[in-house]
């Protein structure tokens, strides 16, 4: 059996984070999103095909031609006509799993579908089916049709974009026409496939993480850190450091005297914490970063080679690679009216569904001293500002 992972998009909803990094290569708890999928697939397939386009060379640099004794090959998606176009030019004559590259599933749900003696799809019951691709089913739990964002109720089983199909699927996909949205859509191919082959629907049993927006990264990080049952300490903790919870402390990373850690956190290679720093909540500090004197970081994701040198607060935020936040960097993470935070997505303010969200900072940004930021705001990659500036 083979597998195809769809990873060609530009993922503009995650800008500025994806301005420099494709979403499937964004790391959560120490490894790229797409690696969780690769690890779940390798016990069941002999080859994984990555469908790529945006910054495609970064995938090849990261994974090469093999992952855990499983062959990795690449297919460039040159057309921008959505999911059906992603499979144009691919021809496979054996059973195949198709998955999206920006969702993390529990390996046990992937195994259920992979070992099914037939064809199928992973689904989830939803309360708002008008927002999803929805399957209807027959009395044998086989799919009867799938409709993208149905205008009237047909069922409540949403597709999670994980399918097991056979080689006939690729023949059918070559012949589909443009949808009403003027795109080639896998849902049209699935409807053809169901006419000839039973497609069993499997409702997932375990948590999954769909990384649609930047704040979903914080949710996933919190989940994986919550699973940390004991500390993994590989380097130095100086005297007078207090730790309440379990931590990951990788090689050549140091926690300096006077620092205080509350709950589960991860600190990666060559990073320096303190002196007198305060980490709390689900916080990850990536490699080669510096959290300096009297800096407080809560529920945040600090990427590689980023410096927050002193006297700053970073709460409920994602700070990209090679960022420098000068002293007295301050942001509110909670609205005074206690309403949900809105953040900029595709140049529009979008309800995050979160009461607490601070700032999303793109790679190579540099803020000047005493920067003040409204909650939920974005600082673009390579962005900068003036001393004392308010980012609204």
Q: What CATH code would you report for 2-212?
A: 3.90.550.10
Task: Check residues 392 and 75 and name the one with the higher pLDDT.
Answer: 75
User: Is there a contact between 304 and 285 (Cβ–Cβ < 8 Å)?
Assistant: no
Region 244-258 average pLDDT: 96
Most confident of 55-69, 116-130, 257-271, 315-329: 257-271
Rounded mean pLDDT of 355-368? 86
Using the Cα atoms of residue 36, residue 39, residue 44 and residue 46 in order, give the sign of their dihedral. positive
What pLDDT is stored for residue 355 in this prediction?
Answer: 72
Asked whether the predicted pLDDT for residue 13 surpasses 90, the reply is no
Interatomic CA distance for residues 67 and 331, integer angstroms? 41
Average pLDDT, the chain: 88
Q: How confident is the model at residue 179 (pLDDT cuts 50, 70, 90)?
A: low
Mean pLDDT, rounded, for 275-288: 95
Look at 59 and 345; give whichever has higher pLDDT.
Answer: 59
Q: Which residue has the tokens 């301005």?
A: 19
Q: For the whole model, what pTM was predicted? A: 0.89
Residue 250, both tokens = 């990788």
User: Which residue has better confidence, 146 or 258?
Assistant: 258
Q: Which CATH class is domain 215-391?
A: mainly beta
For residue 25, give both structure tokens.
């290569």
| Of residues 134 and 335, more confidently modeled | 134
- Report domain extents, the chain: 2-212, 215-391
d(Cα 82, Cα 297) in Å, to the nearest integer?
Answer: 39
- Take residue 251 and report the two structure tokens written for it: 């090689």
Give dist(CA 171, CA 149) in Å, integer. 25
Residue 89 pLDDT exceeds 70:
yes
Concatenated DSSP letters of 3-27: EEEEE----GGGTTGGGTS-GGGSE
Instruction: State mean pLDDT over 179-206.
Output: 82
Structural contact between residues 217 and 28, judged by C-beta atoms closer than 8 angstroms: yes
Give the whole-angstrom CA distance, residue 365 versus residue 351.
24
Q: Which of 6-15, 35-44, 63-72, 117-126 has the lowest mean pLDDT?
A: 6-15
Amino acid 124: pLDDT:
93
Note the pLDDT of residue 342. Answer: 75
Whether 156 contacts 125, CB under 8 Å: yes
For the cut 50, the answer to whether the pLDDT of residue 182 exceeds it is: no
Helix (H, G, I), strand (E, B) or coil at 216: helix
Q: How far from 29 is each of 248, 342, 349, 360, CA to CA, in Å?
A: 10, 26, 28, 18
Contact present, 120 and 164 (Cβ < 8 Å) = yes
């Amino acid at each position: 059996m083979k597998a195809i992972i769809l990873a060609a998009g530009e993922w503009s909803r995650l800008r500025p984070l994806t301005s420099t990094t494709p979403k499937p290569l964004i790391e959560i708890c120490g490894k790229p999103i797409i690696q969780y999928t690769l690890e779940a697939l390798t016990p069941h397939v002999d080859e994984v095909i990555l469908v790529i386009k945006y910054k495609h060379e970064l995938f090849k640099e990261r994974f090469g031609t093999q992952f855990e004794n499983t062959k990795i090959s690449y297919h460039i998606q040159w057309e921008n006509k959505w999911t059906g176009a992603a499979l144009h030019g691919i021809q496979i004559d054996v059973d195949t799993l198709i998955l999206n590259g920006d969702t993390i599933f529990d390996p046990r749900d992937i195994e259920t579908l992979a070992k099914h003696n037939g064809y199928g799809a992973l689904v989830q019951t939803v309360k708002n089916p008008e927002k999803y691709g929805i399957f209807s089913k027959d009395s044998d739990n086989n799919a009867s049709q799938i409709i993208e964002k149905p205008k009237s109720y047909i069922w409540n089983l949403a597709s999670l974009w994980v399918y097991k199909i056979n080689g006939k699927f690729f023949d059918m996909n070559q012949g589909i026409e443009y949808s009403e949205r003027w795109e080639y859509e896998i849902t049209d191919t699935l409807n053809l496939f169901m006419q000839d082959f039973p497609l069993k629907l499997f409702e997932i049993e375990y948590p999954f993480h769909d990384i649609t927006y930047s704040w979903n990264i914080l949710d996933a990080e919190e989940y994986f850190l919550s699973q940390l049952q004991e500390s993994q300490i590989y380097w130095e903790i100086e005297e007078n450091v207090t730790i309440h919870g379990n931590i990951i402390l990788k090689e050549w990373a140091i926690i300096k005297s006077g620092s205080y850690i509350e709950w589960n956190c991860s600190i990666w290679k060559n990073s320096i914490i303190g002196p007198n720093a305060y980490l709390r909540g689900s916080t990850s500090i990536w490699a080669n970063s510096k959290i300096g004197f009297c800096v407080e970081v809560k529920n945040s994701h600090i990427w590689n080679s980023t410096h927050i040198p002193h006297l700053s607060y970073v709460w409920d935020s994602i700070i990209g690679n090679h960022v420098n936040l000068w002293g007295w960097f301050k942001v509110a993470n909670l609205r005074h009216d206690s309403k949900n935070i809105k953040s900029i997505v595709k140049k529009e303010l979008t309800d995050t569904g979160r009461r607490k969200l601070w700032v999303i900072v793109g790679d190579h940004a540099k803020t000047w001293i005493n920067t003040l930021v409204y909650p939920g705001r974005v600082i673009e990659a390579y962005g900068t500002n003036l001393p004392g500036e308010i980012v609204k």
